[in-house]
């Protein structure tokens, strides 16, 4: 189906995008990669009268690595997956490389994904696990918002009218820390059935000093699993301890049955993903290079 007719505006700076949004009002939408917005417009689920294109603003796609990693909002998933600066922050690489297929990854942006706040999207659980900050520019100036406050609900963000995401900042994990993100999918160009993000920090080769675990896809937002974290924190990372984490994830997951599978299937998928992610995170925390890819079933 064709979208409703709209007027196209090409912003030359974020400041211009902000003033265009303020001027054009509620009927205007920002256009980044268009990978979520254009399908919604074609289905007439979104019918903006004005599109403000961010794609021609210089200097909005970048990856800077200093004491943290800064990702320009218009950075494509594929650029993140291919970046040498990201290769050692394995959890970010796992996420970017696993989104959909090359066509979507080459055009879709991290800023657009965060703004969309789709509960089945891949970035939210990863950015919550890593403690990311979302930087914005709006009519009232610049803001820095913790990712947990930024996405309070499905398809809902803390963005105010006229506000644009400019950057996502991810703090670097401490030494002897490893992260992993994995998901179960039916095939590449679809959203996941279940996903999990894990960041594990070791005191020595066997004792977990810190653990963060977020489930993706199974709720309205990414969900932290404190009981699973408590099952391992301060403990040796043995197969038995990992089994306890798996069990806690199984207990905590509250999926609903839908076309992607029954609630029970998704709960067991989350448990299996927890084991795979933890095993990879442990090896990475020990300095090993480990490939993690999504599972297809």
Residues that bind ligand FAD (CB under 6 A): 29-37, 39, 54, 73, 99-100, 104, 108-109, 111-113, 115-116, 118, 121-123, 159, 164-165, 189, 191-192
Between β-strands 295-296 and 177-185, what pairing exists: parallel, antiparallel or unpaired?
parallel
- Whether residue 252 contacts residue 234, with contact meaning beta carbons closer than 8 Å, is answered with no
* Shorter beta-carbon distance to ligand FAD: residue 159 or 194: 159
**In the complex, least distance from residue 121 CB atom to ligand FAD, rounded to whole angstroms:** 4
Nearest approach in angstroms of CB 134 to ligand FAD is: 9
Instruction: Closer to ligand FAD by CB, 64 or 234: give it.
Output: 64
Comparing CB distances to ligand FAD, the nearer of 94 and 229 is 94
For the chain, state the CA radius of gyration: 19
Question: How many CB atoms lie under 10 A from the CB of residue 116?
Answer: 20
Shortest distance (Å) from residue 118 CB to ligand FAD: 6
30, 50 Cβ separation under 8 angstroms: no
Q: Is the Cβ of residue 121 or residue 178 nearer to ligand FAD in the bound state?
A: 121
Q: Are 276 and 282 in contact (CB under 8 A)?
A: no
State the DSSP string of 176-224. TEEEEEEEEESSTTS--SEEEEEEEEESSSSBEEEEEEEEESSSSS-EE
Query: CB–CB of 134/144 below 8 Å?
Result: yes
Q: Considering the complex, what minimum distance in angstroms separates the CB of residue 125 from ligand FAD?
A: 10
Q: Which is nearer to ligand FAD, 33 or 255 (CB)?
A: 33
Q: How far is the CB of 198 from ligand FAD (least distance, A)?
A: 18
For 198, the token pair is: 């894990």
């Amino acid at each position: 189906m064709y979208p409703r007719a709209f007027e196209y505006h090409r912003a030359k700076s974020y400041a211009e995008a902000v003033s265009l949004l303020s001027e054009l009002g509620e009927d205007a939408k920002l256009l980044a990669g268009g990978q979520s917005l254009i399908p919604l417009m074609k289905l007439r689920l979104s019918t903006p009268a004005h599109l403000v294109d961010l794609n021609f603003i210089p200097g909005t796609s970048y990856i800077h690595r200093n004491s943290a990693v800064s990702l320009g909002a218009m950075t494509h998933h594929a650029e993140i997956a291919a970046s040498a600066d990201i290769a050692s922050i394995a959890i970010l690489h796992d996420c970017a490389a696993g989104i959909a297929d090359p066509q979507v990854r080459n055009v879709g942006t991290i800023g657009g994904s965060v703004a969309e706040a789709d509960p089945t999207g891949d970035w939210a659980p990863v950015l919550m696990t890593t403690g990311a900050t979302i930087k914005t520019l709006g009519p009232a100036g610049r803001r820095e918002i913790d990712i947990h406050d930024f996405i309070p609900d499905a398809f809902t963000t803390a963005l105010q009218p006229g506000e644009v995401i400019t950057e996502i900042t991810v703090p670097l994990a401490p030494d002897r820390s490893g992260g992993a993100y994995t998901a179960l999918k039916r095939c590449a160009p679809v959203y996941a059935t279940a996903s999990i993000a894990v960041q594990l920090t070791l005191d020595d080769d066997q004792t977990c000093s810190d653990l963060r675990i977020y489930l993706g896809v199974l709720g309205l937002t990414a969900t932290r699993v404190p009981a699973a974290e408590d099952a391992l924190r301060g403990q040796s990372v043995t197969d038995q301890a990992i089994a306890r984490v798996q069990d806690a994830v199984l207990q905590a997951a509250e999926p609903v049955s839908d076309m992607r599978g029954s609630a029970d299937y998704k709960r067991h998928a989350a448990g299996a993903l927890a084991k795979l992610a933890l095993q990879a995170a442990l090896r990475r925390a020990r300095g090993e290079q480990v490939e993690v890819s999504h599972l297809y079933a």
